[in-house]
Structures are given as structure tokens and as C-alpha cells.
Amino acid sequence: MPRTFFCMMAYDGSRYGGWQNQPNSISIQQKLEDALTAIEGVRVKTVASGRTDAGVHAMGQVASFSLEQWRAPADRLVPAINRRLPEDIIVRSCKDTIPGFHALRDAVRKRYRYTILASPVSDPLRRHLQWHLPIPMQPQRMQEACRFLIGEKDFASFQKLGSPRRSTVRIVHDLTLQVLPAPDGKRLEIDIEANGFLYNMVRNIVGALVAVGTGRFPPEWMEQALYRRDRGAPATTAPAHGLCLLRVDYPPDVFLASPPTPAP
């Protein structure tokens, strides 16, 4: 009987074409599946909580997969997998979970962080982790705009242009902006938590907040853009490298109180 695992991962997405396997670039999924295949002896397929784009990072990505040959406790999988991964991808934890657990379908909340460096000069040590904007920003205006996006809304204006037409309603539980000191400027951390996200939704929201923060639009424009339900709203999509998946939440009953006893 195969065991199903909950696997939490962190990675620097700079070198990869995103989470999902694809023909023309190396993916996070490919590296994880290669490591698991080496352990299991047959090809292992994985599912992630979301398909992070090229250049997007993660501290709490979740993947699910099943293994038949692994007999040791789930936490022993962590070093076994990490020995076979590159240094910019790690497994943080592994747990036994219920049969049929699906990292994408069973997720109930996700939390992302987008980081902006507002400074006349860039930070070369963190250039691949934050969006550098060498122009003055007004965080208070951005904070005022955030309130228009809290709650259950139709976020059609913030999905990628040309995305398939299906439900665009999502519940944003939290959207906060923290201002931190940084060399020669300030660092803005925008955290957003929702029951799910449309394609490029976070990056489009950040782009709209930047348009407000630079004085291009008043905070109330965010509400107008939301109710247009049209991606034609004139704001830039924030680049991928400033985005990080922080956490994915699941119902507590997906985890097993005690691991299964392997058959002899």
C-alpha cells in the first residue's frame, strides 16, 4: 500500500522556469521528482499547492506524492531528498498524510509576500529577491488602497490578460504593508493571504499599489479598478523575482495522528 506524503519546500526560483515541468527549461518539480525517483526506483509524480512562475521564490511551498518502497519514518525523507537536490532547493519537512491528499485541491489558504526596495540605488546582494524602484514611494497611500481589496471580491481586473474565463471571485483575508529600513531607502513588504489566487493576481495587485504609491492614482482608484472587472486597468505587472510563497494552510484532518505501519 503506497504512503502519501505532505512535503514542505523552500527554494530560490531564480534559475528555474517555475514549479511546473516544461520542455524548454528546468523546473522545481523536475528536480524534486528526479530526487524522489532516485529514492523510489520508479518514476514519481508530484503535485504542488500552486504553480509558481519563473523567478518566483518559496518558503512554504507544499507538494504531495506517494511512495511504495519507503519504510522509514516520514521525517527521514528530508535528508534523503535534500542530498539529491541542488543547493537552491530544500525540503523543510515531510509528514504522512491521508490517502488521496492533493496539495492543490486541499489547500484552504495561501499567503504570499512581495518585497520592494524603494531606494535611489539597488542592493546587489538582494537584487533577485526584491523589485528595485529608484523613485519616491508613499506607503501611506498604498496602505489606504489595500482596504478596498479585503473580503470576497471579483478580482477579474487583476488576473493575467487572456486567462481562461472561470470564476474570478476570491476571498482576501489579509493584505498588509510593512515599511522597513534599508540602506539608502526603505523596504516595503506586502503580504497578501487569500483562499486562492488567479494567475498573476498578486503581481498585478502589487503593480496597482505601486501606481498609487508613486502618486499616479489616488487610493480610491483601486476600488474603481477592481469594479471594472477588466485587466485593461493601466498598471504594471510587478516582476516575478520580488514574490515569495510564504505559507499554505490545510485542514488539520489531512495529517495522520500516527504513521502507517509498513507491511513486512
Q: What is the pLDDT of residues 3-55, one digit of tens each?
A: 999 999 999 999 999 999 988 999 999 999 999 999 999 999 999 999 999 99
User: What is the percentage of the chain residues whose pLDDT exceeds 90?
Assistant: 86
In 155-242 the beta strands, taken as DSSP E runs, fall at: 169-182, 185-194
Task: Note the pLDDT of residue 11.
Answer: 98
Task: Note the pLDDT of residue 142.
Answer: 97
Average pLDDT over residues 66-77: 95
**Domains annotated on the chain, with CATH:** 3-106 (3.30.70.580), 109-246 (3.30.70.660)
The more confidently predicted of residues 229 and 154 is 154
Task: Note the pLDDT of residue 222.
Answer: 94
Whether residue 256 has pLDDT greater than 60: yes
What digits encode the pLDDT tens for the residues 75-114?
999 999 999 999 999 999 999 999 999 999 999 999 999 9
Whether residue 264 has pLDDT greater than 60: no
What digits encode the pLDDT tens for the residues 123-136?
999 999 999 999 98
What digits encode the pLDDT tens for the residues 170-225?
999 999 999 999 988 999 999 999 999 999 999 999 999 999 999 999 999 999 99
Whether residue 165 has pLDDT greater than 90: no
What digits encode the pLDDT tens for the residues 133-152?
999 899 999 999 999 999 99
Which residues are annotated as catalytic? 53
Task: Note the pLDDT of residue 235.
Answer: 77
Average pLDDT over residues 156-162: 83
pTM comes to 0.94
Task: Note the pLDDT of residue 176.
Answer: 97
Task: Note the pLDDT of residue 183.
Answer: 84
